[in-house]
Structure 1
């Protein structure tokens, strides 16, 4: 008889293999898939927890998709869940890259594969826009002028003034930490 915990590990392996295999375009594309399977279908954590995990995954070193799958696995089944989720998320990319590197000349010259990759770029852009809209709407719902103004300020800093994203992210983190610290001091 297979225990409930073991079934959970197998589900994590299967779902992370599936998500990693069929999502192209980076970590932001994984977020809607995690939302669909972990939040909407299984209700393993809330939408707010997903946004928090996506923020942590983005600001942590490494690939966002791997970080998010690891955090999701940890949230669902602890350290073992994090481990199996991380391995399952890495495995399809490893296999695909090994195949592509082996047959690179054939892939590079094939017009059908080039057309498929261009089509994927369009769908990736749509998923990223969906994720950005979701995050912006959550920030605006906070009804904090500072956080709301951070959205256009970060965009302008990157797009108009070409300030490095790491600097923008660091400044935003500093402002948010200062905001939390000041709020905590006021409550004392």
Structure 2
């Protein structure tokens, strides 16, 4: 594993956080682009694992993702570095916007800008879903695809709580792991 300076890790994460609008799923997509494809600090599989962990753990997905990536790249110092770099830009922006919100929101073109940003965020979330599913399609991992599609349908059509879906998926994953371990020992 290559040695990554905390300074470089901080500024790479800070940059992503400062220019990300729309929440954790967007920053996860940009982390994947930057850390996997551009810097080659992580593999595609590691990033998918971190996304799954970030989604499953309680708390903000951006912070959870930063924790996983920071730990992988630089241990506990990496966690501190990436979490601070993830938190600091939105904290500054929200503090400034909260101060001028009433005046700011009255401007028509600002409202249009925010509406346009919502569409961009939706597109980035779709991109995250495609990036998560593509490796399973490419590798013909049909069981994982079945679980993925089942989880989406359970939430969208049957309005099953996300926590319940996560627990059911966890159960399927454990059963699958136990069966694989049993086959490997035979």
Q: Please, what TM-score do these two structures have when normalized by structure 2?
A: 0.91
Task: Render the CA deviation track for 1:113-141: whole Å, top value 9, x for unaligned.
Answer: 21111111111111111111121122234
Q: Answer yes or no: is 1:17 the counterpart of 2:24.
A: no
Distance of 2:68 and 2:152 partners within structure 1? 27
Is this contact kept in 2: 1:54–1:68, CA < 8 A?
Answer: yes
Q: Answer yes or no: is 1:167 the counterpart of 2:164.
A: yes
Q: Answer yes or no: is 1:182 the counterpart of 2:186.
A: no
Give the alignment's Cα RMSD to 1 decimal. Answer: 1.8
Unaligned runs of 5+ in 2: none
1:104 to 90, 101, 104: 101
Question: Number of paired residues?
Answer: 184
Using the TM superposition, give the Cα deviation of residue 148 of structure 1 relative to its aligned residue in structure 2, in angstroms.
2.1
Unaligned runs of 5+ in 1: none
Distance of 1:75 and 1:147 partners within structure 2? 24
Distance of 1:40 and 1:136 partners within structure 2? 17
Is this contact kept in 1: 2:63–2:86, CA < 8 A?
Answer: yes
Task: Say if 1:144 and 1:15 are closer, same or farther in 2 by CA, change over 3 A.
Answer: closer
Is this contact kept in 1: 2:136–2:145, CA < 8 A?
Answer: yes
Higher mean C-alpha deviation, range 140-149 or range 82-91: 140-149
Distance of 2:29 and 2:155 partners within structure 1? 25
2:127 to 126, 130, 142: 130
Q: Please, what TM-score do these two structures have when normalized by structure 1?
A: 0.90
Using the TM superposition, give the Cα deviation of residue 83 of structure 1 relative to its aligned residue in structure 2, in angstroms.
0.5
Distance of 1:38 and 1:156 partners within structure 2? 31
Distance of 2:62 and 2:36 partners within structure 1? 16
Task: Report the 3-state secondary structure (helix = DSSP H, G, I; strand = E; otherwise coil) of the residue aligned with 2:182.
Answer: helix
Distance of 1:152 and 1:36 partners within structure 2? 24
Distance of 1:34 and 1:112 partners within structure 2? 30
Is this contact kept in 2: 1:140–1:147, CA < 8 A?
Answer: no
